[in-house]
Amino acid sequence: MFLRLLKLEWKSFFRSASFGKGISVKILLGFMGLYFFLVFLSLGVGLYPLMQKIYPQVEPILVVNNFLLLWFLGEFVLRFMLQNLPVLDIKPLLTKRIQRSQIIHHILFKTSYSFYNILTASVALPFVVGYLNRDSFSATGLIAWLLAVISIVYAVNYFNFWVQKRFSNNLKALIPFIVICSVLIGLEYFKIYSVSTLFGRFFDSILQYPLLALIPFGLALCSYRVTFRDLKTNLYLDAYLVQGQVVQRASDLSWTNRFGALAPFLQLDLKLIWRNKRAKTAVTMCMVFLAYGLFFYGNPTYDGSGMLIFVGVFMTGIFVINFGQFIPAWDSAYFPLFNTRPITMSNYLESKALLMYGSVLLLTLLSTPYVYFGWDKVYVNFACAMYNMGVNIPVILFFGAYNRKRIDLSHSSMFNYQGIGIAQWLVGIPLIFGPIIIWFSTRALINHNTANLVLIGLGIVGLLLRKIILQALAKLYKEKRYAMLEGFKQKD
Amino acid sequence: MISIHNITKHYNGVQVLHIDNLEIKKGERVGLVGNNGAGKTTLFSLMLDLIQADTGEISINGVKVQESENWKYFTGSFLDESFLIGYLTPEEYFYFIGDLYGMSKVDVDGFIAQFAAFFNGEILGRNKYIRDLSKGNQKKVGIVGALIGNPELLILDEPFANLDPSSQFRLKDLIRQLMNESGMTILISSHDLSHTVEISDRIIALEKGKIVKDLTTSPETLEELTAFFAV
């Protein structure tokens, strides 16, 4: 039976609709995984000399022990955000002639060889192997230590699912844990009492008394048991298998009415962003990218280089890039509705453009504190913002006409390559490199200030010609409508 | 109202629809019946300009659907869930569509109030997104959405599927009432022969993309259709 379930897994991988199409993306992800694996492996190899260098007086493994708790905590947080238990996949199996517990063992077992579990092991294993050649500790002690570390990794693995399932609908119940964690961190910070040292001491003693490793091992078994039992009692359509129903929040968007015929579309877009995971993530990313300037402005090597344009276009236009590249795919699920109702394409496009203008304005305003690094930075950002509004927005809408990939709004966009086609890869080139080339060549030929003014000028021209451009785009969208409708019908 | 000339549509070299000539007059209630793959949805999609025909043309009120978007102002349609916006509540969805026809919220509220019985208290004021409604309730939202803007032509694909028995009766009453009050032209496809016969005054049967029967409804129609489809 177990083998049969595994076979099912195999087929679902190779027969998934996106398998052939997304193979390049999979290879890319594979390389990323390999990259991380190698980074962690080299960390494992280099950990001994590194620790020796930073803390020359102390035995490296004892230093490492003191950081273990922090490491596991970080791992837990990372897993909590990224790793999910695919319980919904097993829904079709529940009514078949398979024991419930067997199905649960199967999905839990599946997570055992997840990439996250390998990462810590890939640090710990070379570290321990390196130690075996030194005579500081007994081989049994070191192997017990490794076993203990890997056990904790697995405990974190299963514990994460338990926490996720338990608390995903009831975040308030997490408050006590957060309070305890904050108190412990506080105690640690003010050097009153250090839990991480206590945790470290325990691992120190494993090296002395290898049998102690049975405690973390037991913990791993325990976490498996707890998660197993929890899943078993809750694997029902109205418990863990319920597909999140959110109660709607009343939202008053009447302020958009001033935009007349565009208002219904604007309201729809705002709701789209607010109520769908995928779109929401795209917007949250904008806030993260606002910090992008910090990496560059402090560094004098970038002063006055094309890099400033790169940062400027990115910071003020991240929403244009993130959101704009999926126009009109955001509306793919109900595109036929738009095509059978009296909706003028130019209104549709204009409302999208308006939303993006707004985002550029807002992001530009939010980036003004960079004045700390000098007025020239703000000036360059302003030039980039103008260029984004006048030129990049029409460009991205133009590429949208060649967008044929459906987007499933309910999936988050983290590592989600759905809806990305060749047009999405190509669109980045003119958006970012266009202004850099223009700015750079003008600066080389004339001067810095003129280069900024050229970007601003291009933006103003684009804004003035807005109506004409949007009309032309609307015509293009109308011509391409059958291909869009056909493409948006294809579900992965 | 609708005239179809020499329409053909192929998918991967297989002909899925071929209609030489079909005229539907204003105010007719037309029921389209046929097995799976007979071409019902394809025909509707062609009428609504959602797919392109290989040959031929379809005009609504004398205007070719491919060339002008005029028909959108007087045609209401609901084919499947891709006509719904999942992340809106039913009310918001109705307001959105109303907006497109220049109806205010109050207008829309007034309009949908008459469907209270059809909704059976499960649609309005429940604070649920359309994507979280059951299939049957989604269908009700779609059908009422298609009626907003008082269309002259109403196209519904499988409106009875997924509806509970009471709602099926209510929908039939609703369609009759719309006919009598507004003289709306109605096109409905269905697998259910008796429902279709009950509400249509003309029945068109499709098989493998071709019109095999075109009947004016009479007391014998149901028998004739049953005999035709029986295996």
The tens digit of pLDDT for each residue in B114-162 reads 898 899 888 888 888 898 899 999 999 999 999 998 899 999 999 998 8
Residue A211, chain B, CB below 8 Å: the answer is: no
Q: Is A416 a residue whose pLDDT tops 70?
A: no
Residue A409, chain B, CB below 8 Å: the answer is: yes
Q: At B77, is the secondary structure helix, strand, or coil?
A: strand
Is B92 within 8 Å of A340 when comparing Cβ atoms?
no
Alpha-helical regions (H) of B48-164: 90-100, 105-113, 116-119, 135-147
**DSSP state letter for A412:** -
8 Å CB contact between B58 and B2: yes
- Please give the distance of CA B82 from its chain centroid, rounded to a whole number: 14
Averaged pLDDT for residues B47-59? 91
Residue A333, chain B, CB below 8 Å: the answer is: yes
Exposure string of B15-39, with b = 16+ CB inside 10 Å and e = fewer, is: ebbbbeebebeeebbbbbbbeeebb
Size of interface A-B (CB pairs under 8 A): 75
The residue whose two tokens read 């400033």 is: A308
Furthest-apart CA atoms within chain A: distance in Å: 81
pLDDT band at A307 (very low <50, low <70, confident <90, very high): confident
pLDDT tens digits for A122-142?
Answer: 888 888 888 887 777 888 888
Q: What is the nearest CA distance from A243 to chain B, expressed in angstroms?
A: 9
Q: Say how many residues make up chain A.
A: 492
Query: Which residues are CB-neighbours of A483 under 8 A, at least 6 positions away?
Result: A404
- Chain B residues closer than 8 Å to A410 by CB: 131
Q: Is A270 a residue whose pLDDT tops 80?
A: yes
- Chain A residues closer than 8 Å to B88 by CB: 268, 271
Averaged pLDDT for residues A289-312? 79
Residue A246, chain B, CB below 8 Å: the answer is: yes
Give percent of chain A above pLDDT 90. 18
The mean-pLDDT minimum among A12-26, A89-103, A463-477 falls in A12-26
Q: Which of B80, B82, B127 sits opposite A248 (nearest CB)?
A: B127
> What pLDDT is recorded for position B188?
93
> What pLDDT is recorded for position A241?
65
Residue A57, chain B, CB below 8 Å: the answer is: no
What is the rounded distance in angstroms from the CA atom of residue A275 to the CA atom of residue A272? 6
Is A489 within 8 Å of B82 when comparing Cβ atoms?
yes
Ordered by where they begin, the domains of chain B are 2-230 (3.40.50.300)
Q: For residue B115, what are its two tokens? A: 């469907």
> What pLDDT is recorded for position A139?
83
pLDDT tens digits for A172-224?
Answer: 777 887 888 888 888 877 877 778 888 888 888 888 888 888 899 999 999 99
Interface test with A, best of B100, B106, B152 (most A CBs within 10 A): B100
Q: Is A97 a residue whose pLDDT tops 90?
A: no
> What pLDDT is recorded for position A13?
65
Q: What is the ipTM of this complex?
A: 0.89
Strands B63-64 and B55-60: antiparallel
- Chain B residues closer than 8 Å to A268 by CB: 85, 88, 96
Q: Is A415 a residue whose pLDDT tops 50?
A: no
